[in-house]
Amino acid sequence: MDQQQIFLTILGMAAVTYLPRLLPTWLLSSRSLPRWLVTWLRFVPVAVLSAMLFPALLTDGGQLHIARDNLFLLAALPTLAVAWKTRTLFGPVATGVLLVALARRFLPL
């Protein structure tokens, strides 16, 4: 893609991001979303996050990669522990990034 195509893609991203943010505030001040939709939307975050997370941890170049030298998978455990404990964004991210950086520097993987 050239920069102009990238910009047009960004405009598309902006539209599909803004509408779900905007429409409920305009349309739902007195009503609420249908119950089935609320239930479905409640499951979307966990579904989409793990649909992106699992391949990032378990695959490499389109192949399954579950081995001792899979740094991303190893670092996931302490990252998960800090996330569970602190329930913050920054704590687990800093932990994971630091561990991966240190492991690459000091471990013979």
Partner 1 sequence: MTTGDQGSSLSDVSAGLTRAVPIILGYVPIGLTYGVLAQKAGLSGLNVVLMSLLVYAGSSQLVAAGLFGSGASAPSIVLTTFVVNLRHMLLSAAVAPYLKRWGRGELAAFAYELTDETFALHAASFPSGVPPKGEVFAINAAGQASWLLGTGLGVALGEVIRDVEPLGLDYVLPAMFIALSVMQMEDMKGFAVALFSGTLSVALLLLGAGQWNVILATVIGASTGVLLELWTNNRSS
User: Per CB under 8 A, does 99 bind partner 1?
Assistant: yes
- Rounded to a whole number of angstroms, the minimum distance from the CB of residue 69 to partner 1 is 14
Q: How distant is the alpha carbon of residue 9 from its chain centre?
A: 20
Cα 47 to chain centroid distance, Å, stands at 10
Q: Does 47 bind partner 1 (CB under 8 A)?
A: yes
Q: Is residue 67 a contact point for partner 1 (CB under 8 A)?
A: no
Contact residue for partner 1 among 69, 93, 107, 109 (CB under 8 A): 93
Per rule CB under 8 A, is residue 109 in the interface with partner 1?
no
Kindly state whether residue 101 participates in binding partner 1, applying the rule CB under 8 A. yes
Beta strands 63-64 and 59-60 are: antiparallel
The torsion angles phi and psi of 60, rounded to 5 degrees, stand at: -145, 120
CB contact set of 30 (below 8 Å; sequence gap of 6+): none
Any contact of residue 90 with partner 1 (CB under 8 A)? yes
Site string for partner 1, 4-43 (x = CB under 8 A): -xxxxxxxxxx-xxx-xxxxxxx-xxx-xx--x-xxxxxx
Pairwise CA distance, residues 37 & 42, whole Å: 8
